[in-house]
Chain A
Amino acid sequence: MAHKAEGVEGLRSIPALLHRNATEFGNAPAYREKEYGIWQSWTWAEAEEEIQAFALGLLNLGVAPGDYVAVIGRNRPTLYWSMVAAQMCGAVPVPLYQDAGAEEMEYVLGHCGARFVIVADQEQVDKVIEVQDSLHQFEHMIYVDPRGLRKYDHTHLHEYSHVQAQGRAAHDELTGELAARRAGLGYDDTCVMLYTSGTTGKPKGVVLSNRNIIEAARSSAEFDHLGRNDEVLAYLPMAWVGDFIFSIGQAYWKGFCVNCPESVETLATDLREIAPSYYFAPPRIFETLLTRITIRMEDASPLKQRMFRYFMAHARKVGPAILDGKPVGGMDRLKYKLGDWLVYGPLKDAMGFSRVRVGYTAGEAIGPEIFDFFRSLGINLKQLYGQTEASVFITVQPDGEVRSDTVGVPAPGVEIRIGESGEVYYRSPGTFVEYYKNPESTASTKDAEGWVATGDAGFFEEASGHLRIIDRAKDVGQMADGSLFAPKYVENKLKFYPNILEAVVFGAGKDRCTAFINIDLTAVGNWAERNNIAYASYQELAGHSQVLETIQGHIEEVNASVARDEMLSGCQVHRFIVLHKELDADDGEMTRTRKVKRKVIAEKFHDLVEALYSDVDQIYTETEVTYEDGRKGRIKATLAVRDAAVVPVTPRAVAAE
């Protein structure tokens, strides 16, 4: 193949990078996992041995080149090794969201035709067994944690360590074959297939080649000067492209160490112990953190509260400027130093951010207030804009040019153009090969010249050259009077309030905007506790008149702030309902990456939407919910529909033209 000779420094696959790392700095740590209360670690040399042994085991089970190997579970070294081992065998790893229900798994496993499934534990084994009858290509399942599985039928079920042991035993027979397969990995061969959660329709399998992953990892790692001594904590879903790029792409390219937490519940402690230098989180995580800090400060002693408020006010004033290296007066610097010593430092340490050199947020727009809060503490939090189809990177913010309302400049090697409709198109070495078994979608997304439509509307700011994303192209609309409707803009402002977990704004084609609100149980529950307000359920708390008052206050503040934006002043929220249930991915209301599915919500709660656009002040509704174990139930509620005050705006000149 002509492409064989290509590849940076002749490194054309993840296993090739692994071998380079194990040879050049074999004693440096590659993986750590907290297990039994201690951080266990593996060097690159040890990791390669583990992966090879497992790859031999896979060969022994009959993994053929081009096979699809599904991987399901939380972030654990063994599962990362499984993916690389599959690649060594010439197979394609397909990580799946571990919290997906059996039906979702059935679709993806059936669509990619996985012959092998590697899972973490009994929970996942049970799910796959539940759907295996309809999976014609499925042959073997391998699990990592044997707990509770001893009595299962082991004809097609294998324990990870056994597969590895068999691999070691068959070393002499199979090692030649494995070497041949590794040598055969080409730059344009498939590296991984990732299913996009998709805010609409069935998930699509995005095929990414070795070239995509390695080029994207290389250029982005250079951009942020990542090095071998960086540390990351792998905690985001393995099925998400970001995790693949950070925990495999960049980690293998640069040779830094990937740390895996002990369990989901211990995440905060583990984060603090590792104190990563390179950190990635969706806006949601930062929102949750800010909520938690706010709550804890409200419970703190008056002295601490005053100190916190005083220094945070100072941090907001000068923190971002100091971070960006802009000139700041000597007194202010001194005061910031003092604040760092008294407040910012301990705060960062408590959150596990004491060593963050580069932090990214992406996946969704982050509320400016949340963004500024973290930056003012001196955390170099930046935004990037990307998607699975681009191997993450489309635009990134360079150090010193960070703003909350833009997503930065085109990432190295990425070309961007804005379509006539305002839609953003890009072309890059990371651009995906195709959607698996879906030529129509491939054709409608990616044109012959390699330009990919993002589905997002945006524009380049003249002055800075930064890209600004307005909203999903299909979400941005017009209201009845022709003014611009950008729901996410308003929702993000609402979500800044700790009491509001989620908001969905309606208004396309209507004369006014309305909203659904989800309260944040942690924040509101804490408030209820402090004010001696008793409640028996989420539903009851969400319907409490004082809670509604508070939420209304938040909405009115947001309205005032929205009214100041000339283009979007029409998006003020006139009426709202506080929902009786949390929007949930299990009910199909959100994606697994926790983005709201607007259309689904509008259809599912159509009665409530109608109520928002009528005169009623309360509405009775019944909603179907899915419990974690897949059972379904119904909840009934009578919800208040409330009006919020809006700031009158004079019709814009543009509209009058």
Chain B
Amino acid sequence: MPDQSEGYVTADGRQIGGVLMEMRDITLKFGGVTAIEDISFDIREGEIRAIIGPNGAGKSSMLNIISGFYTPTIGEVWYKGAKRPPMKPYEVARLGVARTFQNIALFEGMTVLDNVMTGRLTHMKAGIAAQALWFGKARAEEMENREVVEKVIDFLEIQNIRKTPVGRLPYGLKKRVELARALAAEPSILLLDEPMAGMNVEEKEDMSRFILDVNDEFGTTIALIEHDMGVVMDISDRVVVMDYGKKIGDGTPSEVRSNQDVIDAYLGVAH
């Protein structure tokens, strides 16, 4: 792995910055079950960081720790150079961490536009009364937010379904709407929980393209969990590999690919 004290330059020439988020000695227990055991890794500014592993490896738990849904039993989360105290997910979201879900969590009855607008919630400050009456500051705020949302809609090429209720959309598009909602929050870190799950090859290609474009255009740091090894190796800069709650590998895709522990975990090994 390259020296990372001051960031590094990726294979395709992108400059990756300093540490944005750091997981220090994280252990997560549910009663007697240890879901994550003593894992440390960092996420750097501007990179695409993947967390992979077989089923039940603890990937989603790790993502839930990053998003603040779980508080680690032991260990610390450092964010932008400071230790993050235990927080509610919405507080974490305000700090600039946005996510998508493995099982799509959109408001089915609402239009795409409204769904994406909810991604701006953390940026809205006007009171309920002002918002209801669409008056004064609330009005200006809504216009600003709508502008951001429209740029995201344009970026993800979903203009034609702007006014369509989400419930009527096919799966692949719903995933894209979820990404749009997360992007609308203008996050510092974007967490993607299995963005390609259940997609066909073409949809996967599209999604990969969008993930790369988001990273490229907005410089958003992306942490993603993914099952599909091929996709992960193609688009990520660095990969953490987990197995049974432990970290068994960490490095660039090619480093990880040649790591014996990783090969064993994925292909199985004779005991």
Contacts and interface: CB of A to CB of B under 8 A. Distances in A.
B217 interface: yes
B116 to A, nearest CB: 11
Given A36-B154, A37-B153, A147 B213 contact: yes
A287 interface: no
B159 A37 contact: yes
B217 A262 contact: no
A530 interface: no
Contacts of B159: 37, 262-263, 265-266
A36 B151 contact: yes
B111 to A, nearest CB: 12
Given A151-B13, A263-B157, A37 B213 contact: no
Nearest to A261: B159
Nearest to B13: A151
A573 to B, nearest CB: 37
B150 A37 contact: yes
Given A148-B213, A150-B216, A151-B13, A269 B160 contact: yes
A266 B153 CA distance: 13
A35 interface: yes
A624 to B, nearest CB: 21
Contacts of A265: 159-160
B13 A37 contact: no
A36 B13 contact: no
Contacts of B13: 151
B61 to A, nearest CB: 35
B257 interface: no
B153 A263 contact: no
Contact of A147 (B113, B160, B162, B217): B217
Contacts of B150: 36-38
B160 A263 contact: yes
B147 interface: yes
Interface in B187-218: 213, 216-217
A36 B147 contact: yes
Interface string A6-47: 000000000000000000000000000001111000000000
Given A148-B216, A150-B216, A266 B154 contact: no
Nearest to A122: B213
Interface in A219-246: none
Nearest to B163: A269
A271 to B, nearest CB: 13
Nearest to B146: A37
Q: Interface range on chain A: under 10, 10 to 19, 20 to 34, or 35 or more?
A: 10 to 19
Interface residues of B, number: 18
Contacts of A148: 213, 216-217
A311 to B, nearest CB: 29
Given A147-B213, A150-B216, A35 B160 contact: no
Contacts of A266: 159-160
B182 to A, nearest CB: 19
A92 B113 CA distance: 42
Nearest to A36: B150
Contact of A37 (B157, B162, B216, B217): B162
A196 B155 CA distance: 34
A36 B113 CA distance: 12
Interface in B134-158: 146-147, 150-151, 153-155, 157
Nearest to A268: B160
Interface in B154-196: 154-155, 157, 159-160, 162-163
Interface string A30-66: 0000011110000000000000000000000000000
Interface string B3-47: 000000000110000000000000000000000000000000000
A37 B153 CA distance: 9
Nearest to B147: A36
Contacts of B12: 151
Contacts of B113: 37
A496 to B, nearest CB: 29
Nearest to A34: B159
Interface string A597-625: 00000000000000000000000000000
Contact of B154 (A35, A150, A151, A269): A35
A266 B150 CA distance: 14
Nearest to B212: A148
B193 to A, nearest CB: 26
A38 B147 CA distance: 10
A483 B221 CA distance: 73
A297 B162 CA distance: 25
A262 B150 CA distance: 12
Nearest to B148: A36
Contacts of B213: 147-148
Nearest to B150: A36
Nearest to B14: A151
Contacts of A35: 154
Interface string A315-350: 000000000000000000000000000000000000
B179 to A, nearest CB: 16
A9 B78 CA distance: 74
Given A147-B155, A269-B163, 7 more contacts: A36-B147, A36-B151, A36-B153, A36-B154, A148-B217, A150-B216, A265-B159
Interface of A: 35-38, 147-148, 150-151, 262-263, 265-266, 269
12 contacts: A36-B147, A36-B151, A36-B154, A37-B146, A37-B153, A148-B217, A150-B216, A150-B217, A151-B216, A263-B157, A263-B160, A266-B159
